[in-house]
Amino acid sequence: MTTAVSRPPLVRGSDRVIAGVCAGLARHLGWPLRMVRIGMVVAALAGGAGVAFYAWLWIMVPTADESAKRNARQPASPIAPAVSAPYVAPYAGPATADASPAAAAAAATAGAATAPAGAVPADSWRNRVPGMRYGKEILLGAGLLLAAGILIARLLGVDVPLGTLIPVAAILGGAAIAWMQLDETRRAGLVDKTKADQAGGWARLAAGLALVVAGVLVMVSGSGSWEQTWLALLSSVAVLGGVALVLLPWGLKFWRDLEAERAGRVRATERAEIAAHLHDSVLQTLALIQRRAGSETDVVRLARAQERELRGWLYRDPGKDAGQLSEGINAAAAEVEDSLGHAVEVVTVGDCAMSERHEALVQAAREAMLNAARHGGGAVSVYLEVTDGAAEVFVKDRGPGFDPDALPADRLGVRESIVGRMNRHGGTAIINSSQAGTEVRLRLPLPTGASAGAATNNNSNGEVRL
Amino acid sequence: MSITEAGSPVPGIRVVIVDDHAIFRSGLKADLDPNIVVAGEAGTVEEAVAVIAAVRPDVVLLDVHLPGGLGGGGREVLAGSAPVLGSTRFLALSVSDAAEDVVSVIRAGARGYVTKTISGAEISDAVRRVAGGDAVFSPRLAGFVLDAFGTAPADIADDELDRLSARELEVMRLIARGYSYKEVAKELFISIKTVETHVSAVLRKLQLSSRHELTRWAAERRLL
For residue B68, is it within any domain? yes
Q: Do B18 and B42 lie in a common domain?
A: yes
Residue ranges in chain B modelled with pLDDT below 70: 1-11, 151-162, 210-224
Q: Which contiguous run of DSSP H or E holds residue A432?
A: strand A428-434
Q: How far apart are CA B12 and CA B128, in angstroms?
A: 10
Which residues of A are less than 8 Å from B179 in CB distance?
A: 396
Q: Do B111 and B145 lie in a common domain?
A: no
What ipTM was assigned to the predicted interfaces of this complex?
0.78
Final residue belonging to a domain, choices B99, B114, B133: B133
The residue among A314, A325, A330, A347 with the most chain B CBs within 10 A of its CB, best to mutate, is: A347
Q: Contact B177/B139 with Cβ under 8 angstroms?
A: yes
User: Tens of pLDDT along A317-327?
Assistant: 655 556 788 88
pLDDT (0 to 100) of residue A191:
46
What's the mean per-residue pLDDT of chain A? Answer: 71
Total count of residues recorded for chain A: 466
The residue among A299, A315, A441 with the most chain B CBs within 10 A of its CB, best to mutate, is: A315
Packed helices B99-107 and B139-149: angle between N→C axes, nearest 10 degrees: 90
Closest to A348 (Cβ–Cβ): which among B143, B179, B183?
Answer: B143
Give rounded-to-5 percent helix, strand, coil for chain A: 65, 10, 25
Q: Do B159 and B114 lie in a common domain?
A: no
Q: Do B26 and B104 lie in a common domain?
A: yes
Packed helices A162-191 and A121-155: angle between N→C axes, nearest 10 degrees: 170
Backbone angles phi, psi at A11, to 5 degrees: -135, 155
pLDDT (0 to 100) of residue A183:
54
For residue B8, is it within any domain? no
Q: How far apart are CA A13 and CA A26, in angstroms?
A: 9
Q: Which residues are CB-contacts of A146 (< 8 A; sequence separation ≥ 6)? A: A169
Say if B147 is an interface residue toward chain A (CB within 8 Å): yes
Domain CATH code at residue B151:
1.10.10.10
Say if B56 is an interface residue toward chain A (CB within 8 Å): no
C-alpha dihedral (B177, B179, B183, B189), degrees to nearest 10: 40
Q: What is the DSSP secondary structure assignment for residue B36, as one 8-state letter? A: E
Q: How far B10 CA sits from the closest chain A CA (Å)?
A: 30
Confidence band, pLDDT 50/70/90 cuts, at residue A129 = very low
Q: Do B38 and B80 lie in a common domain?
A: yes
Q: Which contiguous run of DSSP H or E holds residue A262?
A: helix A226-278
Total count of residues recorded for chain B: 224
B120 is in which domain, residue-wise? 13-133
Q: Is the four-CA dihedral A227, A232, A236, A238 of positive or negative sign?
A: positive
Split into its structural domains, chain B has a count of 2
Q: Do B50 and B86 lie in a common domain?
A: yes
Residue % of chain A over a pLDDT of 90: 2
> Which one, of B96, B186, B192, lies nearest residue B144 by Cα?
B96
Closest to B143 (Cβ–Cβ): which among A349, A387, A396?
Answer: A349
- The CATH topology of domain A319-465 is Heat Shock Protein 90 (3.30.565)
Backbone angles phi, psi at A47, to 5 degrees: 70, 20
3-state SS class at A198:
helix
For residue B6, is it within any domain? no
Which residues of B are less than 8 Å from A349 in CB distance?
A: 143, 146-147, 151, 176
Q: How far apart are CA A235 and CA A396, in angstroms?
A: 89
Report CA-CA distances (Å) from A47 to A142, A150, A336.
18, 15, 83
Q: In terms of CA atoms, which chain B residue is nearest residue A313?
A: B223
pLDDT above 60: residue A346: yes
Q: How far apart are CA B163 and CA B159, in angstroms?
A: 7
Q: How far is CA A308 from the centre of its chain?
A: 30
Q: Do B156 and B115 lie in a common domain?
A: no
Q: How far apart are CA B73 and CA B78, in angstroms?
A: 9
Final residue belonging to a domain, choices B133, B167, B194: B133
Average pLDDT rounded to a whole number, residues A75-87: 35
Which residues of B are less than 8 Å from A311 in CB distance?
A: 97, 224
With 0-12 CB in 10 A as exposed, 13-18 as middle and 19+ as buried, what is A256? exposed
User: Tens of pLDDT along A333-345?
Assistant: 888 888 887 788 8
Closest to A396 (Cβ–Cβ): which among B117, B178, B223?
Answer: B178
User: Quick check: B151 and A439 CB within 8 A?
Assistant: no
Helices (H) and strands (E) in chain B, counts: 10, 6
pLDDT (0 to 100) of residue A35:
85
For residue B3, is it within any domain? no
Q: Indicate the pairing of strand A344-349 with strand A390-397.
A: unpaired
Q: What is the DSSP secondary structure assignment for residue B58, as one 8-state letter? A: S
Q: Do B85 and B41 lie in a common domain?
A: yes
Domain CATH code at residue B49:
3.40.50.2300
Neighbouring C-alpha atoms within 13 Å toward the C-beta of B109: 21
Closest to A349 (Cβ–Cβ): which among B151, B178, B224?
Answer: B151
User: Quick check: A383 and B178 CB within 8 A?
Assistant: yes
pLDDT (0 to 100) of residue B190:
92
Q: Which contiguous run of DSSP H or E holds residue A371?
A: helix A356-375
Q: Do B127 and B18 lie in a common domain?
A: yes
Region for residue A315 given its phi and psi (left: phi exceeds 0; alpha: psi -120 to 50; beta: otherwise): alpha
Report CA-CA distances (Å) from B206 to A443, A461, B213.
29, 37, 12
Q: How far apart are CA B147 and CA B137, in angstroms?
A: 14
Q: How far apart are CA A184 and CA A182, in angstroms?
A: 5
User: Quick check: B178 and A387 CB within 8 A?
Assistant: no
Please give the interface size between A and B, counted as residue pairs whose CB atoms are below 8 Å apart: 51
Helices (H), chain B: 22-31, 45-55, 74-80, 99-107, 120-131, 139-149, 166-176, 181-188, 192-208, 212-220
Residue A432 identity: N
> Which one, of A422, A426, A466, lies nearest residue A446 by Cα?
A426
Q: Contact B205/B161 with Cβ under 8 angstroms?
A: yes
3-state SS class at A345:
strand
Choose between A250 and A316: higher pLDDT. A250
Q: How far B159 CA sits from the closest chain A CA (Å)?
A: 22
The residue among B116, B173, B174, B224 with the most chain A CBs within 10 A of its CB, best to mutate, is: B224
pLDDT above 60: residue A181: no
Q: What is the DSSP secondary structure assignment for residue B9, as one 8-state letter? A: -
Q: Do B55 and B108 lie in a common domain?
A: yes
Average pLDDT rounded to a whole number, residues A66-76: 51
Q: How far is CA A70 from the centre of its chain?
A: 20
Q: How far apart are CA A419 and CA A434, in angstroms?
A: 18
Which residues of A are less than 8 Å from B178 in CB distance?
A: 345, 379, 381, 383, 394, 396
pLDDT above 60: residue A188: no
Q: Do B126 and B145 lie in a common domain?
A: no
User: Tens of pLDDT along A386-440?
Assistant: 888 888 999 988 877 777 666 666 666 677 788 888 888 888 888 888 877 888 8
Q: In terms of CA atoms, which chain A residue is nearest residue B96?
A: A311
Final residue belonging to a domain, choices B102, B133, B164: B133
Residue A254's CB: how many other CB atoms inside 10 A?
A: 11
3-state SS class at A405:
helix
For residue B4, is it within any domain? no
In chain A, where are the structural domains located?
Answer: 21-160, 225-316, 319-465
Q: Which contiguous run of DSSP H or E holds residue B136?
A: strand B136-137
Which residues of B are less than 8 Å from A343 in CB distance?
A: 117
Q: Do B157 and B59 lie in a common domain?
A: no
Lowest mean pLDDT of A50-64, A160-174, A195-209, name the range: A195-209
For residue B1, is it within any domain? no
Bridge partners, B172 (sequence order)? none
Residue A199's CB: how many other CB atoms inside 10 A?
A: 9
pLDDT above 60: residue A303: yes
Helices (H), A98-225: 101-109, 121-155, 162-191, 198-221
Backbone angles phi, psi at B207, to 5 degrees: -80, -35
For residue B5, is it within any domain? no
Confidence band, pLDDT 50/70/90 cuts, at residue A40 = confident
Q: How far is CA B83 from the centre of its chain?
A: 18
Say if B142 is an interface residue toward chain A (CB within 8 Å): yes
Q: What is the DSSP secondary structure assignment for residue B212, as one 8-state letter? A: H
User: Quick check: B223 and A320 CB within 8 A?
Assistant: yes
> Which one, of B223, B217, B100, B216, lies nearest residue A317 by Cα?
B223
Confidence band, pLDDT 50/70/90 cuts, at residue A459 = very low
Closest to A347 (Cβ–Cβ): which among B117, B143, B222?
Answer: B143
Confidence band, pLDDT 50/70/90 cuts, at residue A215 = confident
Q: Contact A438/A398 with Cβ under 8 angstroms?
A: no
Q: Contact A176/A100 with Cβ under 8 angstroms?
A: no
